[in-house]
């Protein structure tokens, strides 16, 4: 097994430019989900620790928010260069923490670094407005100013890119940040903090707290009066709680929550391309992504051609620990995730679904599950309503385009959707009819730093990435300048 270079493996949190332990002295272990090997221990921080971090961010805000945009951009550019240079080390840490195949982790480093680079360039483009006046004696102006201290809470499934996608635009806009990474994957976040420090980020601008008490620490982050913005990626249930807590002080909020992504294959689709896209979308990170295909909806006229090819492609996937050569599907993150997948599998089979391939624990044991295809799936099965978050692809058929759209939209979620078709009129009709914040057409991979990422309905509020990213971390201020004539 490849080893993780020691210099980037920190076992302390990072507050006000200092590597620090929890005030209580408590720590907690972080283990490799593939084999339960201990990676290291990090501070188990509490409300007092996160309050100290918020106060440090507040103290650093005046200087950082008034720094020249070019100076903030230069630091971000150096951070991007450092992340890129240490890409292999970061990827190995990531794979050991969350179990994803090393090739995917290397790809995530590149993807995550692209947000830092993009945000550095956008730092110079936080523009205001001059409004044509309604009176000769005054002038009307609009400024965009950084909102203040940002509380960022990130998930375990993309432990690098979910951080850079939030933190880099916040920093570029002139905000300071308190970051709480997932307790399962803190080491990737700590490595990023070290590289940011080496890039010249001033003390207090980025603070990182690690904890097992996410509810209490998150409660402080979402209610503290010095925090002016909360940005969160995670479950819809937790997002709703944070939203309610943030309402007490009327904070700005961005939420990227759960999904139930449909993957529609229409009868005019390129079948081989659709199979390739479905594999990429469904089984990336062992199906543990918020935008992965949760339901594969296939038009009846093409089902007999698509399902066998899709099943054969799934059977060819290599299940292995993430650091093993050629690994394509790694372990589930924890036992809770395994239990959920097995519950949904058993429910589907009990309601009449057939297992085309997989359907049980993998021979490797532990948290490995066989990549699975279910056929004969109906709306009565829980897997069509709940986010599976595992390597199970339920396949459901539909008769008409209208029925396919109705099935796709029959959910409270609206993060991502995908469909394959070649008829140009259908592409426009379906693309506009799907009730989702993002739609992939003839592709299973949609994320990029240059496009807005986010959902509708119960999948969230706000957008990350694109030219709109920095807007989420600014306030609009109107200036009315009178006495000019």
| CA-based nearest residue to 427, from 401, 446, 453, 445 | 401
Strand partners, 144: 476
Greatest CA span in the chain, whole angstroms? Answer: 82
**How many whole angstroms separate alpha carbon 161 and alpha carbon 256?**
13
**How many whole angstroms separate alpha carbon 86 and alpha carbon 193?**
13
Determine contact, residues 415/440, Cβ cutoff 8 Å: no
Torsion, CA 112, CA 116, CA 117, CA 118, rounded to 10: 90
| CA-based nearest residue to 391, from 448, 331, 346, 442 | 331
Determine contact, residues 153/221, Cβ cutoff 8 Å: yes
**How many whole angstroms separate alpha carbon 161 and alpha carbon 296?**
26
Determine contact, residues 147/228, Cβ cutoff 8 Å: yes
List the catalytic residues.
Answer: 256, 290
| CA-based nearest residue to 296, from 258, 259, 260 | 260
**How many whole angstroms separate alpha carbon 187 and alpha carbon 196?**
14
**How many whole angstroms separate alpha carbon 41 and alpha carbon 468?**
37
Give the SS3 label for residue 143: strand
User: What one-character DSSP code corresponds to residue 202?
Assistant: P
Beta strand 149-153 with 227-233 is parallel
Give the SS3 label for residue 153: strand
């Amino acid at each position: 097994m490849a080893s993780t270079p020691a210099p980037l493996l920190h076992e302390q949190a990072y507050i006000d430019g200092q590597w620090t332990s929890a005030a209580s002295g408590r720590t907690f272990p972080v283990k490799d989900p593939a084999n339960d090997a201990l990676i290291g221990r990090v501070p188990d921080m509490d409300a007092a620790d996160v309050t100290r971090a918020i106060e440090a961010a507040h103290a650093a805000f005046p200087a950082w928010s008034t720094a020249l945009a070019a100076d903030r951009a230069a630091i971000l550019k150096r951070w991007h260069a450092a992340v890129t240079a240490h890409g292999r080390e970061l990827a190995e840490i990531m794979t050991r923490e969350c179990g994803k195949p090393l090739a995917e982790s290397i790809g995530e480093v590149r993807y995550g670094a692209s947000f830092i680079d993009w945000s550095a360039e956008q730092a110079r483009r936080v523009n205001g407005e001059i409004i044509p006046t309604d009176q000769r004696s005054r002038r009307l102006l609009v400024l965009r100013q950084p909102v203040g201290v940002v509380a960022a809470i990130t998930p375990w499934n993309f432990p690098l890119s979910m951080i850079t996608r939030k933190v880099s635009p916040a920093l570029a806009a002139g905000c300071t940040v308190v970051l709480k990474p997932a307790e399962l994957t803190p080491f990737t976040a700590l490595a990023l903090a070290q590289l940011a420090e080496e890039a010249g980020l001033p003390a207090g601008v980025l603070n990182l707290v690690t904890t097992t008490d996410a509810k209490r620490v998150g409660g402080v982050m979402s209610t503290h009066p010095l925090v002016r913005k909360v940005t969160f990626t995670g479950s819809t249930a937790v997002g709703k709680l944070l939203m309610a807590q943030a309402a007490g002080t009327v904070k700005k909020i961005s939420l990227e929550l759960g999904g139930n992504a449909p993957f529609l294959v229409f009868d005019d689709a390129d079948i081989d391309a659709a199979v390739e896209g479905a594999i990429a979308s469904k089984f990336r990170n062992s199906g543990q992504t918020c935008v992965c295909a949760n339901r594969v909806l296939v038009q009846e006229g093409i089902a007999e051609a698509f399902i066998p090819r899709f099943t054969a492609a799934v059977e060819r996937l290599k299940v292995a620990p993430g650091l093993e050569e050629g690994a394509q599907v790694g372990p589930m993150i924890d036992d809770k995730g395994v239990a959920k997948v097995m519950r949904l599998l058993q429910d589907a089979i009990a309601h009449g679904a057939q297992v085309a391939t997989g359907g049980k624990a993998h021979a490797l044991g532990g948290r490995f599950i066989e990549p699975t295809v279910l056929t004969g799936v109906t709306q009565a099965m829980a897997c069509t309503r709940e986010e599976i978050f595992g390597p199970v692809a339920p396949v459901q058929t539909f008769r008409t385009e209208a029925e396919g759209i109705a099935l796709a939209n029959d959910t409270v979620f609206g993060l991502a959707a995908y469909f394959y078709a070649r008829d140009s009129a259908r592409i426009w009709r379906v693309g506009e009819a799907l009730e989702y914040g993002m739609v992939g057409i003839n592709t299973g991979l949609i994320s990029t730093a240059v496009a807005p990422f986010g959902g509708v309905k119960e999948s969230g509020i706000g957008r990350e990435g694109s030219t709109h990213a920095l807007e989420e971390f600014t306030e609009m201020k109107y200036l009315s300048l009178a006495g000019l004539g």
